Structure 1
């Protein structure tokens, strides 16, 4: 019997001290689910397998950040994977729609979905930016080409993700998607935004936003160091130095810079031109 599109997708969820929020969101996932626990200490995953037989729980001995998703992708037995965090989940028909796109378009590695935030279902502004960018439209999916994605709102082709090495330990966590997206583009893959593929995200207000901002600043610099021309890297450093969290990001980027340099492989000129044109148009 032929598989339904949604049967071709495994949802890879990562958590660290997800608390009661994880207990609520994990019940909303459908199909095959792999839950990676990044060394939680709050007991949030206790009893998950007893309550949800379809969920495979992997307890990692320590927090390995976004690399936990790599473990989940390797364990998945499906050609496509959907990412989720302990505060996010996919709309009922989203995975089937994303899988259909990936089946119909063999050059597409990532389907970036529309993310609705909070109980009010506020559209994440990044969706509007993707939909109205200067990149080519994809009428067949009702969206357009993109050069990046948000992990909790993305469904990926497993082989493409593994081809570019998945997430890395230089960035570790926070903005970790950028380097993967750049490597996919450099390898000739397409990334598309599909607004009818919907993910829900209910971020916990208790989580430290200043720490998140510092990580984003740090990792933006490190990613540029690994994949972008030197003027772009220096421009990101200069921009970061204008804010307190950015300055903290620069300081914490320095100890990781040597490892980043060892992995420096600037994207091909045609990809860089596309990135530069998009960045100019969005200013």
Structure 2
């Protein structure tokens, strides 16, 4: 049975990635997680953390092989929920799939809904058709992938499916850094929730540059932690009592429009 925690500790793991090299990336992240300064409840890795943002679907893994097993090992070792996305081959269809893996080895997943057509992601991967909200240690968490950030309807904190924390894992290029930071703030403010955005740094195999700017924001859109253009493992702590008190004192979500999403 999960322990309900008033204070949740979350590790944002911002890293450069070895282009299309699963072995090197998993080894690198294993070292970074070993260096965390304290025990945490949630570990958040970037989008396609095992390869970089590649359209090379020959690297897509079936579920429950190398990367899934590694995530299970890390979740058990750190007694934490491990969150990140990677390319998955599911019955001959390819997905940019986000996994949330628990210490007991169970996992839930959702597939990236909005595929980045400017990078031809829509020509190689299949879009997801459902959103995931999981409950972890008394908190409701909604994890999404990169380009999904630009679509507020998909990210909306619905009364039928509420959450406390909105997570985005990303490979968001430096040339659009202003949009990254602005949209993350907007999602926090409009959804009255904590928002975590974990991005990569470095240059990928296609020559795109990334500068990180991973961030943790509170329900006002104010920074709890902000990372710059360097590798870093930042642990942040968020308060359930403070979130509830703010929502009670300023219940804007009660006036939100009611709607359904049809995929």
Could you state the TM-score of these two structures normalised by the residue count of structure 2? 0.28
Higher normalized helix content (fraction of residues): 1
Looking at both structures, which has the greater relative contact order when contacts are Cα pairs under 8 Å and sequence separation is at least 6? 2
The structure having more radius of gyration, on CA atoms, is 1
Higher normalized strand content (fraction of residues): 2
